[in-house]
Amino acid sequence: MTSLATTEAEAPARAEPRRSGRLLMASAVAVLVAWVLVPIYLLVVNAFGSVAAVSAWPKSLVPEFDLSSLAFFANYAGVPRALLNSFLVAGLTMVMSIGLGAPAGYALARFRFPGANLFRLAVLMTRAFPLPLLALPLTVLFIRVGLDDTIIGLALVHTTLAMPFAVLIMASLFLSIPEELEEAAWTLGCSRLSAFRKVVLPLALPGIAAAGIFAFVISWNEVFAAAVLTIENKTLTAFLLQSLDVSPLPLKFAGGAVLIVPALLFLFAVRKYLFSLWGIANR
Amino acid sequence: MADIDIRQVAKRFGNHQALHAVNLTVADGEFVVLLGASGSGKTTLLRIVAGLEKASHGTVIIGGRRVDDLPPRRRGIAMVFQNYAVFPHMTVFDNIGFGLAMQKVPAAEIERRVRRVAELLHIEELLKRYSGQLSGGQRQRVAVARALAVEPAVLLMDEPLSNLDALLRLEMRAELKGVLQESRTTTIYVTHDQVEAMSLADRIAVMHEGRIVQAAPATEVYHHPATRFVGGFIGNPPMNFLPAEREGEGARVAGHLFRDAPAADAALLFGIRPEDLVPAGKGLAGRVRVVEPLGPHQLVTMDLAGHLFRVVLDNDLAVRPGETLTLAPRPGRVRWFDADSGVSLTQTTQPEPATGA
């Protein structure tokens, strides 16, 4: 693709299909982008519209900037508490995902052990297991253990959901750090642990943070387990879901925006590490 | 400073026997090069000495101490890796001082020693830089400086020059030799480049299929290859080999009778270096195929009794393709091998070196 102009001049016969292919590609991209962005745009516009403008029709083309919907949302009974719960659960999920996922990812990246591939597959397969099937037994178990309706209980479930991604992201992350760097550290006086701390960790830190943020977002967006397992300590998603039919329109839009915007920003920040999940080098 | 004694070291990876009971001693201050093609086991042997790989069998003794169960950091070694392994998140200064910092050397002393090795390798101006801001040659210097800074008893180098371009490699080779001669550190150096091996080594250990086939000074390895493999592996172009028929006390090679063949019972193989032949009235006669002028010499490829035969001749001799050339070996340069086992049957004329295996 370095000299597109010359190749097209040399091969005029091939230029036409290539141009139409590019057109097809561009329109497909446009449709996909619109598919994602239009709902978000409407959501944000309505969230920042005044309470009156939200239900008005036709919409004015120029979006207004009015915090009254958000203010209404913030003052709605139960919202601050749900927001705090969401933060706590997502934060705990992040910590546990890193704490458990980093060693697992390191092992997958550095050690050859029998069943490594099976383990890799098993980690992914946990995502294939339908959560609704688990809902009832899990609830019963949680009630017995006393974990029902607690932040930590929900965080445990969310960690399970986030773990496959955390493990695989961090495995590819550790794989991208040359083993020779660790070996060099060993020959220079490091044990495996201190080599990890002084050489691997500083290099992996941005990626580990990204995996953590991804876990945070998964927990932040999760509805089903949150709705089933909590009653008093509802997270924001569960709270909104439950009050969907009784809450006024501005609340829905403001709630939706508050849920989506942080998740989007976080994912945008860590996108290159998410690509690494699929084996694309993250350098 | 320490000597190294490698005894019966073997290594097996699954079904693949990477090393077969290797023995090698390296004297205190000696520079030994492990030379071999890829897959010959040279890097595996080096990594076993370093402690990065565990031997399946055998013992490594460094400075009189068995190190088989010691991790790399307790062996008194330092290693230079093929791709340098300069820590990207540290400055050059911190890289070079890393080993000293791990030993809890006081900061002032670290500063002094880092400056000294940086000076030795001409990288004083780079101390504040990161590895991403360095060229390949500069990274190489940092890697060597980092290994020397800890003043190891044993220095291990794994193809340290192979990632550099040809010109830089030549320059670094000469410089490395100077630096290491000065430090007199016991060194094992792995390479597949025979020129590198010859130029650096006190002694070359030629490896082939997981065995050391010859460990001797460069000139001896070159002139007295212990096996047919060594003769064919070392030298460019390699040694010529021709089948020989025993005839009385001597042997007939391509129609010419050599009277001084060894009196062994085995079938004979005749070997001679391409530069050890001169045009003569009688001797080995063959048809010239290709003539390649190489500046000071010309490389003549000929067909000798159906065998490919290469000769390096002086430039002033006019040789044309198609003509017949008759060559006689220089006195004392013919080597005889056992045709079956490939082992040399010619007595070594040079005395065994004091450091010999």
* A149-166 confidence digits (pLDDT tens): 888 999 999 998 899 888
Asked whether residue A244 is assigned to any structural domain, the reply reads: yes
Is pTM, for the whole model, over 0.90?
no
Q: How many beta-carbon pairs below 8 A join chains A and B?
A: 58
Q: With 50 as the cut, is the pLDDT of residue B355 above it?
A: no
CB contact under 8 A, B89 and A185: no
Report whether B142 contacts B92 (CB < 8 A). Answer: yes
Q: With 50 as the cut, is the pLDDT of residue A280 above it?
A: no
CB contact under 8 A, B73 and A184: no
Write down the pLDDT at residue A123.
82
Please list every residue in chain A whose beta carbon sits closer than 8 Å to the beta carbon of residue B146: 184, 188
Please list every residue in chain B whose beta carbon sits closer than 8 Å to the beta carbon of residue A191: 71, 73
Which three-class secondary structure state does DSSP give residue B216? Answer: strand
Please list every residue in chain B whose beta carbon sits closer than 8 Å to the beta carbon of residue A112: none
Partner-chain residue, chosen from B78, B102, B150, that has the shortest CB–CB distance to A190: B102
Write down the pLDDT at residue A5.
44
Asked whether residue A106 is assigned to any structural domain, the reply reads: yes
| Range(s) of the domain holding residue A141 | 74-281
Q: Radius of gyration over alpha carbons of chain B, in Å? A: 24
Distance CA B242, CA B336 (A): 10
Q: How far is CA B317 from the centre of its chain?
A: 33
Q: Could you give phi then psi for residue A51, rounded to 5 degrees?
A: -60, -35
CATH topology for B240-338 is: OB fold (Dihydrolipoamide Acetyltransferase, E2P) (2.40.50)
Write down the pLDDT at residue A241.
82
Q: With 60 as the cut, is the pLDDT of residue A269 above it?
A: yes
Mean pLDDT for A243-259 is 79
Distance CA A71, CA A77 (A): 12
Report whether B351 contacts B345 (CB < 8 A). Answer: no
CB contact under 8 A, B81 and A180: yes
Asked whether residue A66 is assigned to any structural domain, the reply reads: no
Most confident of A71-80, A198-207, B93-102: B93-102
Regarding the domain with residue range B4-228, which homologous superfamily does it belong to in the CATH classification? P-loop containing nucleotide triphosphate hydrolases (3.40.50.300)
Write down the pLDDT at residue A278.
54
Residues A163 and A42 in one domain: no
Mean pLDDT for A205-212 is 87
Q: With 60 as the cut, is the pLDDT of residue A279 above it?
A: no
Count how many residues are written for chain B: 357
Q: B50 touching A, CB under 8 A?
A: yes
Write down the pLDDT at residue A2.
42
Q: With 50 as the cut, is the pLDDT of residue B336 above it?
A: yes
CB contact under 8 A, B88 and A186: no
Q: How far is CA A18 from the centre of its chain?
A: 36
Residues A116 and A42 in one domain: no
CB contact under 8 A, A187 and B73: yes
Asked whether residue A28 is assigned to any structural domain, the reply reads: yes
Mean pLDDT for A219-231 is 86
CB contact under 8 A, B99 and A191: no
Write down the pLDDT at residue B53.
93
Please list every residue in chain B whose beta carbon sits closer than 8 Å to the beta carbon of residue A190: 73, 102
CB contact under 8 A, B71 and A191: yes
Asked whether residue A110 is assigned to any structural domain, the reply reads: yes
Write down the pLDDT at residue A68.
75
CA distance A193 to chain B (A): 13
Residues A78 and A171 in one domain: yes
Residues A130 and A244 in one domain: yes
Residues A50 and A142 in one domain: no
Mean pLDDT for A44-56 is 73
Distance CA A171, CA A148 (A): 32
Q: Considering only CA atoms, which of B25, B33, B23, B36 is closest in space to residue B217?
A: B33
Give the angle A38-A39-A44 at the CA atoms, nearest 5°.
100
- Strands laid side by side in the B240-243 sheet: B240-243, B268-272, B335-338
Asked whether residue A156 is assigned to any structural domain, the reply reads: yes
Distance CA B169, CA A89 (A): 57
Residues A207 and A131 in one domain: yes
Distance CA B344, CA B322 (A): 34
CB contact under 8 A, A199 and B87: yes
Work out the pLDDT band at A56, boundaries 50, 70, 90: low
Distance CA B5, CA B229 (A): 25
B306, amino acid identity: G
Q: Which residues contact A212 (CB under 8 A, 6 or more apart)?
A: A94, A95, A97, A98, A166
Residues of chain B with CATH 3.40.50.300: 4-228
CA distance A174 to chain B (A): 15
- Strands laid side by side in the B211-216 sheet: B77-80, B154-158, B186-191, B31-35, B203-208, B211-216
Q: Label residue A164 left, alpha or beta by phi (over 0 means left) and psi (-120 to 50 means alpha).
A: alpha
Mean pLDDT for A90-95 is 94
Write down the pLDDT at residue A235.
87
Looking at per-residue pLDDT, the higher value among A206 and B229 belongs to: B229
Residues A86 and A21 in one domain: no
Burial A210-233 (b: 16+ CB within 10 A, else e): bbbbbbbbbbbbbebbbbbbbeeb
Work out the pLDDT band at B157, boundaries 50, 70, 90: very high
A99, amino acid identity: G
CA of B157: which chain A residue's CA is closest?
A184
Report whether B286 contacts B252 (CB < 8 A). Answer: no
CA distance A99 to chain B (A): 23
Mean pLDDT for A156-182 is 90
Distance CA A253, CA A44 (A): 8
B143, amino acid identity: A
Residues A51 and A78 in one domain: no
Q: Which residue has the tokens 């178990």?
A: A141
Q: Which residues contact A231 (CB under 8 A, 6 or more apart)?
A: A149
Distance CA A204, CA B251 (A): 68
Write down the pLDDT at residue A38.
87
Asked whether residue A68 is assigned to any structural domain, the reply reads: no
Angle between helices B136-149 and B92-102 (to 10 degrees): 20
Mean pLDDT for A159-177 is 89
Peptide bond into B237 cis (omega under 30): yes
Distance CA A166, CA A204 (A): 13
Residues A135 and A236 in one domain: yes
- Which residues in A have their CB inside 8 Å of a CB on B? 178, 180-181, 183-191, 194, 199, 202-203
Q: What percent of chain A has pLDDT over 70?
A: 86
Q: B114 touching A, CB under 8 A?
A: no
Write down the pLDDT at residue A15.
58
CA distance B197 to chain A (A): 24
Distance CA A46, CA A87 (A): 24
Residues A82 and A29 in one domain: no
Report whether A276 contacts A172 (CB < 8 A). Answer: yes
pLDDT tens for B266-295 read 889 999 999 999 998 888 999 999 999 988
CA of B85: which chain A residue's CA is closest?
A181
Asked whether residue A69 is assigned to any structural domain, the reply reads: no
Write down the pLDDT at residue A62.
65
Partner-chain residue, chosen from A181, A190, A203, that has the shortest CB–CB distance to B85: A181
Mean pLDDT for A124-133 is 81
Q: With 60 as the cut, is the pLDDT of residue A140 above it?
A: yes
Total count of domains within chain A = 2
Work out the pLDDT band at B312, boundaries 50, 70, 90: very high
Write down the pLDDT at residue B324.
92
Mutate to test the interface with B, among A187, A201, A205 (most CBs of B within 10 A): A187
CB contact under 8 A, A194 and B102: yes
Work out the pLDDT band at B350, boundaries 50, 70, 90: very low
Residues A211 and A252 in one domain: yes
pLDDT tens for A7-38 read 444 445 555 667 888 999 999 999 999 998 88
Report whether B185 contacts B191 (CB < 8 A). Answer: no
ipTM above 0.90, yes or no: no
Report whether B60 contacts B48 (CB < 8 A). Answer: yes
Mean pLDDT of chain B: 90
Write down the pLDDT at residue A234.
85
Mean pLDDT for B141-158 is 93
CB contact under 8 A, A180 and B85: yes
Report whether A98 contacts A166 (CB < 8 A). Answer: yes
Q: With 80 as the cut, is the pLDDT of residue A75 above it?
A: no
